[in-house]
Amino acid sequence: MNLHELTIHEAHDLLKKREISSVELTTAILDRIGQIDEKVDALLTVTDELAMVQAQKADELFKTGEVTPLTGIPAIIKDNMCTRGTRTTCSSKMLENFVPPYNATAVEKLKLQGIVMMGKSNMDEFGMGSSTENSAFYPTRNPWDRDRVPGGSSGGSAVSVASDETIFALGSDTGGSIRQPSGFCSVVGLKPTYGRVSRFGLVAFASSLEQIGPITKDVTDAALVLNAIAGHDEKDSTTVPHPVPDYTQSLIPDVKGLRLGIPREYFVEGMEEGVKQTIETAISKLEELGATVEETSLPSSKYALSVYYIIAPSEASANLARYNGVKYGFSFQEADSMWDAMEKTRQYGFGPEVKRRIMLGTYALSAGYYDAYYLKAQKVRTLIRQEFDQTFEKFDALITPTSPTVPFKIGEKMEDPMQMYLADVCTLPINIAGIPGICVPAGFVDGLPVGMQILAKSFAEETLLRIAYAYEQTTDWHKQNPPI
Q: Are 137 and 104 in contact (CB under 8 A)?
A: no
User: φ and ψ at 413, to 5 degrees?
Assistant: -120, 5
Rounded to whole angstroms, the Cα distance separating 436 from 264 reads: 19
Helices (H) and strands (E) in the chain, counts: 15, 11
CB 172 within 8 A of CB 104: no
| Catalytic residue ranges | 78, 153, 177
Residues near 411 by beta carbon (within 8 Å), at least 6 away in sequence: 133
Query: CB neighbours of 59 closer than 8 A, spacing ≥ 6?
Result: 21, 22, 23, 72
- For 47-181, strand residue ranges (E) read 74-78, 116-121, 168-173
- Write the DSSP assignment of 257-316 as a string of letters: T-EEEEEGGGS-TT--HHHHHHHHHHHHHHHHTT-EEEEE--GGGGGHHHHHHHHHHHHH
Name the CA dihedral angle for 245, 247, 249, 252, rounded to a multiple of 10 degrees. Answer: 140
Torsion of CA 224, 225, 231, 237, to 10 degrees: -170
CA–CA separation, 290 and 296 (whole Å): 19
- Whether residue 237 has a cis bond before it, omega within 30° of 0: no
The partner residues of 109 in beta bridges, in order of sequence, read none
| Cβ within 8 Å of residue 65, ≥6 positions away | none
Are 150 and 140 within 8 A, CB to CB?
yes
Integer distance in angstroms from the first to the last C-alpha of the chain? 18
Q: Nearest to residue 312, comparing CAs of 377, 397, 255, 262?
A: 377
Amino acid of residue 350: F
Closest CA to 191 of 425, 18, 352, 427: 427
* Spatial distance between the Cα atoms of 12 and 73, rounded to a whole number of angstroms: 8
C-alpha to C-alpha distance for 325 and 330, rounded to whole angstroms: 6
